[in-house]
């Protein structure tokens, strides 16, 4: 390739990157809160969970039931039947749907204590809540809606979507949530979270995670894809 052709090719690439940088600078991400205001809205695990209404178990949810010091009576994964019931050792079918985990645990304690155990201690955890989903959109490998199972965080939500794409703007990840009937959002820096420089925010059912687009990376990728067509400049 001649010097002129090489210079022309580099100039085109530089122009694309410069334009992308301008577009990135025009983003409206500064409208959304960052840092402490964003964590105050979404939830910082280091400061404890935000107060929320207790989730009520639904049919097809997967729950775990632990009876203290009674492994044979405990269930690691129990799928709530369509009728709303679960089957427990010794006591048989028990209504679970419509109850909170605390209510179900209390009911099981009463049933077990009435005939089988002395002062039983029962804990119930929802492993997978089918009615509670997080939607992950934007620059991720597999956008879609995923069930919220156990303690969900931003990094876990991204992992469910098979991670960000190569052109994702990891410092421009937005979590949207309905607060007081209004959709609110906060911006988070996934790079800082991965490095341990920031907390991994809590994700709740019906949240939406949107991963931004890195305009510079995207333009450079497009430039590399079109590079073979620039061979026309070799003759200059």
Residues 41-57 have pLDDT tens digits of 776 666 554 444 467 88
Asked if pLDDT for residue 164 goes beyond 50, the answer is yes
Selected residue with higher pLDDT from 20 and 71 = 71
Mean pLDDT of all residues in 7-36: 51
Asked if pLDDT for residue 131 goes beyond 90, the answer is no
pLDDT score for 27 = 43
CA distances to 120, 179, 217 from 200, rounded to whole Å, are 35, 20, 25
The pLDDT confidence band at residue 180, using thresholds 50, 70 and 90, is: confident
Q: What is the CA radius of gyration of the chain?
A: 25
Please answer whether residues 203 and 132 qualify as being in contact, where contact means their C-beta atoms are separated by less than 8 angstroms. Answer: no
Asked if pLDDT for residue 135 goes beyond 50, the answer is yes
Mean pLDDT of all residues in 117-127: 92
DSSP 8-state secondary structure symbol assigned to residue 95: E
Strand-pairing partners, residue 84, are: none
Mean pLDDT of all residues in 105-112: 96
Selected residue with higher pLDDT from 63 and 55 = 63
pLDDT score for 126 = 86
Mean pLDDT of all residues in 100-104: 93
With a CB cutoff of 8 Å and minimum separation 6, the contacts of 85 are 93, 94, 95, 96, 97
Asked if pLDDT for residue 177 goes beyond 50, the answer is yes
Tell me what percent of the residues of the chain surpass a pLDDT of 70: 72
Asked if pLDDT for residue 233 goes beyond 60, the answer is no
Establish how many alpha carbons lie within 13 A of residue 30's alpha carbon, considering only the half-sphere containing its beta carbon. Answer: 4
Distance in Å from the first CA to the final CA of the chain: 8
Mean pLDDT over all residues of the chain?
Answer: 79
Asked if pLDDT for residue 119 goes beyond 90, the answer is yes
């Amino acid at each position: 390739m001649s010097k002129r052709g090489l210079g022309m090719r580099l100039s085109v690439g530089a122009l694309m990157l410069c334009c992308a940088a301008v577009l990135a600078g025009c983003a409206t991400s500064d409208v959304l809160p960052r840092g402490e205001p964003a964590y105050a809205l979404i939830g910082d695990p280091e400061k404890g969970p935000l107060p929320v209404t207790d989730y009520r178990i639904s049919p097809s949810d997967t729950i775990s039931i632990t009876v203290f010091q009674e492994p044979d009576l405990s269930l690691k994964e129990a799928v709530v039947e369509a009728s709303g019931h679960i089957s427990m050792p010794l006591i048989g079918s028990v209504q679970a749907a419509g109850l909170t985990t605390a209510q179900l645990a209390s009911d099981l304690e009463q049933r077990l204590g009435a005939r089988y155990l002395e002062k039983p201690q029962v804990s119930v955890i929802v492993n997978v809540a089918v009615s509670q989903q997080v939607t992950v959109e934007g620059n991720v490998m597999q956008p879609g809606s995923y069930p919220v199972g156990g303690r969900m965080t931003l990094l876990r939500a991204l992992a469910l979507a098979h991670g960000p794409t190569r052109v994702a703007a990891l410092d421009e990840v937005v979590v949207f949530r309905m607060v007081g009937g209004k959709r609110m959002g906060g911006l988070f820096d996934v790079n800082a979270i991965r490095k341990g420089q920031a907390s991994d925010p809590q994700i709740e059912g019906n949240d939406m995670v949107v991963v931004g687009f890195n305009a510079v990376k995207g333009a450079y990728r497009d430039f590399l894809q079109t590079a073979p067509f620039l061979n026309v400049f070799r003759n200059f």
